[in-house]
Amino acid sequence: MSRKLFIAGNWKMNSSAASSVEVAAGMASELGAIDAVDMAICPPFVYIPGVVEAFKGSNIGVGAQNMYFEDNGAFTGEISGQMLKDIGCRYVILGHSERRHVLGETDALINTKVTKALADELEIMFCVGELLDERKADQTTAVVTRQITEGLKNISREAMSSITIAYEPVWAIGTGETATPDQAQDVHATIRGLVGQLYDAEIADAVRIQYGGSVKPSNAAELLGCPDVDGALVGGASMTVADFAGIVNSVL
């Protein structure tokens, strides 16, 4: 099966009211008509409405970087999946390494959020990836296996069509150090094999697996040329029109 590439930007806790709209408008005019790859941008919550407006009529979707697993109520500071749908989000990133390692999210919490996001009919970019120490200790397969097995616990085979897995080795995030295409391909193939064990060959063949970690225009084509790399989750290089367009254009 040939899987359509999915290139998404994660702006993390960056941008401003003015620049979020300006950058999104630039992306809409430069990339908005492209149909050959799927594209999305995930701004900070507060800038989502402006970006949704700027992307209206374009092929670029909008996602959030996190959500809570209740619809509403006494959860000060949290944002629900229904609220995200309400303001025009199609996607949500869950299990990002910064949520895991800086904000303390566990596999069990991430699984609860994945379950709720599916009920809310959001499409999920579900992130996994090992720390540098874990890679050095040859624990990469064990770590991503645990993260996927726990994070997708009780998720049905049908629901897998709403899930993209993002492999983001933590040592490559924001460091300028990218996994080599061989390193990425190796883990992506392992992940696809695992999905085959947890589900079946058809689901494994269909699931898209993005690579994330210092993706930029100069390395995107090589990484996305790997057989099991089906897109990218881009941090720093998704903050400007030129870099994000450079990544998208490099695979067209």
Contact 96, 168 (CB under 8 A): yes
Q: Which residue lies nearer to ligand 13P by CB, 148 or 234?
A: 234
Q: Tokens 């993706």 appear where?
A: 215
- 188 a catalytic residue: no
Question: Pairing state of beta strands 208-212 and 123-128?
Answer: unpaired
For helices 17-31 and 48-55, angle between their N-to-C axes, nearest 10 degrees = 20
Q: Tokens for 55?
A: 């992307």
Which amino acid would we find at residue 144?
V
- Write down the least CB distance from residue 1 to ligand 13P, Å: 25
Q: Tokens for 17?
A: 């009211």
Could you give the CA distance from residue 50 to residue 234 in angstroms, rounded to a whole number? 20
Select from 50, 51, 53, 46 the least CA-distant residue to 9. 51
- Write down the least CB distance from residue 210 to ligand 13P, Å: 9
Helix (H, G, I), strand (E, B) or coil at 37: coil
Binding residues (CB under 6 A) for ligand 13P: these are 10, 96, 168, 173-174, 212-215, 233-237
Q: Which residue lies nearer to ligand 13P by CB, 66 or 145?
A: 66
Q: Which residue lies nearer to ligand 13P by CB, 65 or 145?
A: 65
**Residue 231: enclosing H or E segment and its boundaries?**
strand 231-234
Q: Tokens for 230?
A: 């089906």
Q: Which residue lies nearer to ligand 13P by CB, 82 or 249?
A: 249
- Write down the least CB distance from residue 166 to ligand 13P, Å: 7
Phi/psi of residue 227, each to 5°? -60, -30
- Write down the least CB distance from residue 216 to ligand 13P, Å: 8
- 78 a catalytic residue: no
Contact 195, 187 (CB under 8 A): no
- Residue nearest to ligand 13P according to CB distances in the complex: 235
- From the candidates 96, 98, 105, 134, which is the catalytic residue? 96
- From the candidates 105, 130, 168, 188, which is the catalytic residue? 168
- Write down the least CB distance from residue 93 to ligand 13P, Å: 7
Q: Which residue lies nearer to ligand 13P by CB, 174 or 225?
A: 174
Active site positions, annotated:
96, 168
